[in-house]
Structure 1
Amino acid sequence: MAWDEATKWAQGDLSQPLYQHLLDDAMEKPERDSHRKKIVKPADMPWEMSRQGLLKHLINEEMNTRMETVDVYMQIIPPGSWSGKHRHLAEECLYVLEGEGYDLHTDCDVEITDTYHWRPQDEEKRFDWEAGDVIYIPPNTIHQHFNANPDKPVRLISAINRIYKYCGLNDLEQIEDAPEYDPSVVLNSETLNKYLG
C-alpha cells in the first residue's frame, strides 16, 4: 500500500451517501420553500401564556415561514406588571410599540470550554424606556421588563437570532415566571382583554 497508515484509515465497512444528501437537500429546498409562508396573517400568529409572559408569536421556526434565523414575538405586559426574568446566550432587541417602563439587567461572566458555566455579576442595572425606543439585551444577560404605568399595557416586539440553537448553544433559562403565568390559560383575542386593564 502507498501509505503506511492505510491499515488504520482504510478500516470500516460503513458506506453512506452523506454528501449526496446535502446535494439533494439543496435541490429540494426551493420546492419546500414554495410551501412556506412569506406573509403571516394575524389569525395565523399563535398566542401563548408563557413563563415569560403574554406573547403573540409573529415569526417562529415552528410556524412554517421562510424566515430561517430569526424569531419574533409581541409581548404584552399588563398595567403595573412585569415580564418573567430569563437569560439566554443570544443577543436580543425589543422595539417598544407603546407604553413606558424599565428593564433590569444583570451581566454574567461566562466560560465556554468542554462545559458551559455562567455566574451573575453583583450589579443590577436599570434602563428606562418608552414608546419608540429599542431595548438591547447583550448576550447572556439576565433581564426583566417592567411596565411603569398602572393604567395602560406595554407592547414590545422582540427579535432574537436562533442561529445559536443551530450551533448547539440553545442556552435559555427561565429564572422567574411572569405574574400572569398560568399554564391552564388558553390565550386568544377574547381572553387577552382581561389582562389589558
Structure 2
Amino acid sequence: MAWGETGVWIDGEENMPLYQNLLDDAASAPERNARRNKIVRPDEMPWEMSRQGLLKHLINEAMNTRMETVDAYMQIIPPGSKSGKHRHLAEECLYVVEGHGYDLHQDCDVEITDVYFWKPQDEIKRFDYEAGDVIYVPPNTIHQHFNADPDRPLRLISVINRIFKQCGLNDLEQIEDAPEYDPSITLSPETVRAFLRVK
C-alpha cells in the first residue's frame, strides 16, 4: 500500500528554508554581482610564491570578480628554470605569452569508485612550444613546464575550470616543488624582477 511507509517518512522535526534560500539568492544576485569586478587591474591581481612557482592570479574564486566558473593565473618561469610538477583531475589550457620551452606530460590510469586511485603510465611525452602557442594538459596528467631559454623568462597564462571542485573532484597533488619556492618570500614587482635576472 502506498501509504504504508507513512510511519517512516513522516518522522523528523527539523525545518529549513532551503528552497526559499534558493529564491533569495537568485533575487539578490543582480545587486551582488553589480558589486563584483568585471575589470581587474594589475595592482589588484595577487602574487603568490607557490609550490608550483611564481604566480600572478588574474581570476580566482577568492577574488571579487564576476567570473563564476574559471580560474586563471600567469606563471613566470625564470631563465633556465622550471615549474613545480603536479597533477589534477581537471583539464588545463595554457597560453604561451613570452619565451619558449617545453612540457613533460605523463598520463595516468585512473579509477574513481568510493576511493580515487591513479597510477602513472611509463611513457613521458615532451611537447615543445613558443610564444603564441596554446598548451593543452589532459585531465589527470602529471605535468611540468620548462623554460628552455637561459636568458629570458617564460610566461604562461593558465586557465582551468573550477566547476570540477564543486562536483567533489578537487584532486590536486604537488609532486615536486619549483626551484624558486620559498614560503618566506613575499613577492613584489622588485622581487619578481630579481628572479628574472640571469645569474
Shift of 1:15: 1.3
Aligned to 2:102: 102
Aligned to 1:160: 160
Aligned to 1:180: 180
Output the CA distance in 2 between the equivalents of 1:95 and 1:34. Answer: 29
- 1:195 partnered with 2:179: no
Corresponding pairs, count: 197
- 1:54 partnered with 2:49: no
Aligned to 1:123: 123
What one-letter code is carried by the residue in structure 1 that aligns with 2:121?
Q
Runs of 4+ in 1 over 4 A off after TM superposition: none
Shift of 1:14: 1.2
Output the CA distance in 2 between the equivalents of 1:146 and 1:99. Answer: 11
Overall identity of the aligned pairs, in %: 76
Aligned to 1:91: 91
Shift of 1:127: 0.5
SS of the residue corresponding to residue 3 of structure 2 reads coil
Which TM-score applies when normalising by structure 2? Answer: 0.97
What one-letter code is carried by the residue in structure 2 that aligns with 1:189?
P
Listed one character per residue, the Cα deviations across residues 52-80 of structure 1 (whole Å, up to 9, x for unaligned) are 00111000111110000100000000000
Aligned to 1:7: 7
Shift of 1:29: 1.1
Call closer, same or farther: CA 1:2–1:106 in 2, change over 3 Å: closer
Aligned to 1:112: 112
SS of the residue corresponding to residue 61 of structure 1 reads coil
Shift of 1:193: 0.7
Give unpaired runs (5+ residues) of structure 2: none
What one-letter code is carried by the residue in structure 1 that aligns with 2:14?
L
SS of the residue corresponding to residue 40 of structure 1 reads coil
Shift of 1:2: 6.7
Aligned to 1:144: 144
Which TM-score applies when normalising by structure 1? Answer: 0.98
Aligned to 2:134: 134
Output the CA distance in 1 between the equivalents of 2:56 and 2:16. Answer: 43
Listed one character per residue, the Cα deviations across residues 17-51 of structure 1 (whole Å, up to 9, x for unaligned) are 11111111111111111111000000000111110
Shift of 1:4: 1.0
Output the CA distance in 2 between the equivalents of 1:22 and 1:59. Answer: 26
SS of the residue corresponding to residue 190 of structure 2 reads helix
Listed one character per residue, the Cα deviations across residues 72-115 of structure 1 (whole Å, up to 9, x for unaligned) are 00000000000000000000000000111100000001111111
Aligned to 1:72: 72
SS of the residue corresponding to residue 14 of structure 1 reads coil
Output the CA distance in 2 between the equivalents of 1:43 and 1:114. Answer: 43
Call closer, same or farther: CA 1:113–1:2 in 2, change over 3 Å: closer
